[in-house]
Amino acid sequence: MKTTGNTILITGGGSGIGRGLAEAFHKLDNTVIIAGRRENVLRETAQANPGMEYITLDTADSKSIAKATADLKERFPKLNVLINNAGIARPENLLDASSDFDAVEQMVATNLIAPLRLTAALLPQLEAQDAAVVMTVTSGLAFAPLAMMPTYCATKAAIHSWTESLRFQLRQTKVEVLELIPPYVQTELGGDRQLTDPRAMPLDEFISEVMEILKTQPEAKEINVERVQAMRYAAEGGQKKYQEFVNGFNEQMMAASH
């Protein structure tokens, strides 16, 4: 992926990793459009970065996607990069029969169905460009799940698998398919506590390392910072070592949450 001269749409671009990527690409003189449901957050981010554009978009709503697709084609005909970043995470107790299943469905709709729908809608425009990219933002939790967030982890594992299929199906086209696999990063995804959790990777350090990988490893299909390597390749040592890793990781996280 080239890091300059792009027109980039980033979902969930008003905060967290999405905003970090948007600002980093914006500084490299790309045309950046951030998208999300919270217009006030998008507006604040765009105002803080003069020249950055934004559109309101509910990626879980097919009508909103159709409207945004038409708007993007008209206003940004050179759009060549889609970064599927928007996501939500909620803890769940699978033993609680009274738990809110609407929250589960919302996670599946936002984290899984939405990027599939948006990518399908924008592929015709992307395929018309000389250097196009679809980047999905998954998680280290797609490879070593956090038991207290089962649906979130499952959606990220599904998006990883889907990304590999998309890459294969587009192998004869000019559309490059990348996967960004973050570790635990200091963002608001998991609430205020995650923003300052010392166990989480500082957002600015994560974004800096991601951009360095994009610049220096142009052939990389997965963007893995150093701190996610253990999770990404947890299964490489075989089933026994993988289970030991997952059990130890979950016990550590559970102890820290009390």
Q: Are 127 and 79 in contact (CB under 8 A)?
A: no
Helices (H), the chain: 16-27, 39-48, 62-75, 101-108, 114-127, 150-169, 192-196, 203-216, 229-232, 239-257
Active-site residue (options: 152, 184, 233, 242): 152
Using a 10 angstrom Cβ sphere, with 0-12 exposed, 13-18 middle and 19 or more buried, the burial of residue 149 is buried
Tell me the C-alpha distance between 141 and 93, whole Å.
17
Alpha-carbon gap, residue 5 to 232, rounded angstroms: 31
The alpha carbon dihedral of 66, 67, 68, 72 has a sign of positive
233 classed as catalytic? no
Assign 234 to helix, strand or coil: helix
Residue 194: other Cβ atoms inside 10 A: 17
Q: Which residues are tagged catalytic?
A: 152
